Amino acid sequence: MRKSKTDLSSLWRALLLILPLLFLSSLPVLAQDWVRTGTNLGAPKIRLAAASFNPASADPQTPALKTTFDTVFYNDLSNAGVFDMVSKSMAPPLMPANPQQINLAQWAAAPANAAMVAFGSIAVNNGRLQVYGWLYDAKNPGAPQILGKQYDQSASQENARVIAHQFADAIITRLGGGIPGIAETHIFYIASRGGDKEIGEMDYDGANAHPLTHLGTISLSPRVSPDNGRVAFSSLGRNGWAIRMYSLVLNRMVSFPNVGSNPFSPAWSSDGTHLAFSSSRTGDPEIYISDASGGNIKRITAFRGPDVSPTWNPKTNDQIAWCSGRTGLPQIYIMATDGTNVQRMTDGGYATSPSWSPNGQFLTFAWNRSYGPGAPGGEDIYIMDIASKRWTQLTHGEGRNDSPSWSPDGRHIVFQREDGHGSQIWTMLADGSDQQQISHGGGDSMPNWSWK
Amino acid sequence: MALSQMGGSLAERRELRPEPIGPPLAKSALLHVLAVILLLGYALVHHFFHGNEWGSNDFQQGAIQATLVNSAAVPLPQEHPPTDNVLETQTPSEAPELPQPKAAPIPLPEAIPIPEKHATVKKAPKTSPRKPLPRQQPPPKLQNKANYGEAAPANLPKAATANPNASSTVQVAGGDFGSRYGWYVDVIKTKVAQNWLLPEVATSTPTGATVYVQFSVHRDGSTSGVRVATSSGYSSLDQSCLRAVQRVDTFGALPSGYNQSTLSVLYHCTYPGHQ
């Protein structure tokens, strides 16, 4: 018996020795430093270098066009949101004109560290602007070519911009996974000039801003059709508010029937066959759907309280998000296009101006979460994942932000911001970064990003 | 006589009495129980405090990697053994001499030789001066090739390639998609990674759990046949990785230089841990 006792105690001693060893074996893992970046970004942005294009002709127009081209091209790639651009100061001071002249190792080495290089030549010959562009994979010298493009247009500043946009979009489409770039898209907006509010149009980067309509009245909420053929908006005429159409093909107003009393905020379905809008035929504003020609009007909401600002789910066209005041302050709701399956999305505050993301996954809207007497702050732009109703705040109190609109690639949002200097149009990436003011006029508001 | 008989029977009885079986059995059982506790304890400790998973290579990046089935080239042995005479000279040097054999131990004078041992003694190797080895046959001369003693052109490595289409029998082109179009692999990796929503994964999933999802990419960049190739054993992780691939409408058109109609992709999602 005594012997077995000593056996037991020696066993316990051995166990006591082994247990700390057990824990020690797992301790080094705990002591490791773990650094995680991003939320679920998963993969880093592509490091892209845009070489200065080689001026390949002695025409006196070349340097000016080359400067425009280089600047626009670099900005387009930088704005795309999918590239980590090599700063011009870090790129090798070279202008390779063609694949024979490029030394990929130079671009792949520090400090440029480029994974991709876009380069080429620009020339003016007999009044024609000719651009050859290549995209090379600097890390794969065995088979480096990804893209080779050739452009030929009449020589002008405008065409230098167009070619830069086109080549940048080709690169973004290739490396961005098949989603076309937005460098050739436009933004429609309300330009407030001298008491009137007219429809304006500008390039996505704010260049070429010009008014479209000259109605001499107040127009609101422009919405361009998916084929870029028409702009629908609500406008104050002799008989009150009406939905009106401006044809971008004919460059003039085209007729649209009267669809009811005080129709506001028309919205195109992504197939271009239907319009949704709000109208107060029955006393308070309700949501209606009509054909693109204004026929077959159907009412789809029937609640006390205003229902305004419809927007389609562009992925499926079988859902509509809108803004409803049925519980008091306006909130964002979604429903099927027959008016069923109503879900409230926001849980309080003052939420307006919904816009549905192209992939159908997100809503963006303006929201003042602490709305009320004496509450500080203003409206900010939020995005919400529809399935989970989780939201993220994108702007943080820099003025009053409203009227967000998705870009067709789903990576950008354009919105209006009112600060001490009036209302301006801004763009940002859909995660709230890279906010840029793109209009500098007086009162520009209610932007709407074109579909392509 | 009787006493001795009695004594003998006593000893016998003592011999025949069964040994006490209780204490050793208890000890043995205790040892086994302890061993089981130790194993369980180790497993438990490892389960809760593990982290550095075997084979995980990019933790910081969200631990996602795209691997193209097509590019997973398995090197096969070469048909011809590589030539030995890589650098052949006209005047081969003499081989170094063999080490001197050790002097045989001098037998003691009184030692008697054992005849059997002598019979099995091997003959010592000849110690004649070594001749240089005969020159090996040079590889056959090619008509159109300068021959200056280098090795014959190395055989290109062959590879067994995965078949992108289950129906087609032979794929002629090599599976070098990954090396030729590395940028497209990056596009696939990035797009799925961007669509992989970590909050969908149950937080009880252990760090490093990995699911392999297989799908085909068509020429227009669309996907089909998305399925779990190897489950991680955690359904929420499997589903989140599947959905990530299904959320992608297109990866963009396949590179025009790639002449197959589809590309098979094996994608793995490794859970980077609850954040």
CA–CA separation, A265 and A309 (whole Å) = 6
A99 and A225 in a common domain? no
Question: Are residues A168 and A200 both part of a single domain?
Answer: no
Q: Is the pLDDT assigned to residue A1 strictly greater than 90?
A: no
Chain B interface test: which of A37, A40, A270 (most B C-beta within 10 Å): A40
Which tokens sit at B179?
């090396």
Chain B residues in contact with A2 by the CB 8 A cut-off are: none
| A7 with B27: Cβ contact below 8 A | yes
Residue A153 shares a structural domain with residue A246? no
Domain boundary (A148, A175, A202) is at A175
Q: In the 8-state DSSP scheme, what is residue B200?
A: G
Q: Please indicate, yes or no, whether residues A124 and A221 belong to a single structural domain of this protein.
A: no
> A34 to chain B: which residues are within 8 Å by CB?
51, 59
- Give domain status of residue B249, yes or no: yes
pLDDT band at residue B269 under the 50/70/90 scheme: confident
**A151 within some domain:** yes
Window from A56-70, A172-186, B195-209 with minimum mean pLDDT: B195-209
Q: Are A300 and A320 in contact (CB under 8 A)?
A: yes
Q: Average pLDDT of chain A?
A: 87
Using the beta-carbon criterion (under 8 Å), do B248 and A177 form an inter-chain contact?
yes
| CB-closest option in A23, A137, A361 to B45 | A23
Q: Look up the ipTM and state it.
A: 0.73
What is the tens place of the pLDDT at every residue in A228-238? 999 999 999 88
Q: Which of A382, A381, A383, A413 is nearest to A400 (CA)?
A: A381
Q: Give how many domains chain A has, as a whole number.
A: 2
Residue A306 and residue A201 share a domain: yes
Check CB contact of A20 with chain B, cutoff 8 Å: no
Residue A183: C-alpha distances to residues A80, A121, A161, A323, A403 (Å): 8, 20, 10, 31, 21
| C-beta of residue A395 within 8 angstroms of C-beta of residue A369 | no
Report whether pLDDT(B68) > 50. no
Between B31, B49, B194, which is nearest A42 by CB?
Answer: B194
Nearest to B61 among A42, A175, A361 (CB): A42
Are both A224 and A156 inside the same structural domain? no
pLDDT digits (tens, 9 = 90+) for B4-25: 555 556 666 666 677 788 889 9
Confidence of residue A374 (pLDDT cuts 50, 70, 90): low
Q: Are A235 and A244 in contact (CB under 8 A)?
A: yes
CA distance B251 to A158: 32
Residue B191 domain boundaries: 64-74+157-165+173-270
Question: Which of the two residues, B199 and A254, has the higher pLDDT score?
Answer: A254
Whether A387 contacts chain B with CB within 8 A: no
Residue A23 lies in a domain: no
Closest by CA to A233, choosing from A270, A191, A265, is: A265
| Domain closes at, from A151, A175, A199 | A175
Q: Could you tell me if A347 and A312 lie in one domain?
A: yes
Q: Tell me, yes or no, whether A212 and A325 share the same domain.
A: yes
> What is the average per-residue pLDDT within A373-400?
84
B201 near B229, Cβ under 8 Å? no
Q: Do A395 and A288 reside in the same domain of the chain?
A: yes
Which residue among B52, B196, B249 places its CB closest to the CB of A32? Answer: B52
Cα B262 off chain centre by:
29
Task: Tell whether B272 lies on the interface with A, counting CB pairs under 8 A.
Answer: yes
Q: Which pLDDT value is given to residue B139?
A: 61
The reply to whether A211 falls in a domain is yes
- Summarize pLDDT for A387-424 with one digit per residue, the tens: 889 899 999 888 889 999 999 999 999 999 998 778 99
Q: What CATH number is given to the structural domain containing A341?
A: 2.120.10.30
**What integer is the mean pLDDT of B240-252?**
88
A-contacting residues in B 24-83 (Cβ below 8 Å):
26-27, 30-31, 34, 38, 41-42, 45-46, 49-52, 59-62, 64
CATH of the domain at A168: 3.40.50.10070
Distance (Å) from the alpha carbon of B1 to chain A's nearest alpha carbon = 38
Residues A228 and A154 in one domain: no
- A179: chain B residues, CB-CB within 8 Å: 250, 252
Number of domains in chain B: 1
∠ Cα B72 B74 B76 (to 5°): 160
Same domain, A92 and A123: yes
SS3 state at A91? coil
CATH assignment of the domain containing B183: 3.30.1150
Residue A416 one-letter amino acid: Q
- pLDDT above 90 for A49: yes
Q: Which domain holds residue A231?
A: 186-449
- Give the containing element (helix H, strand E) for A124: strand A116-125
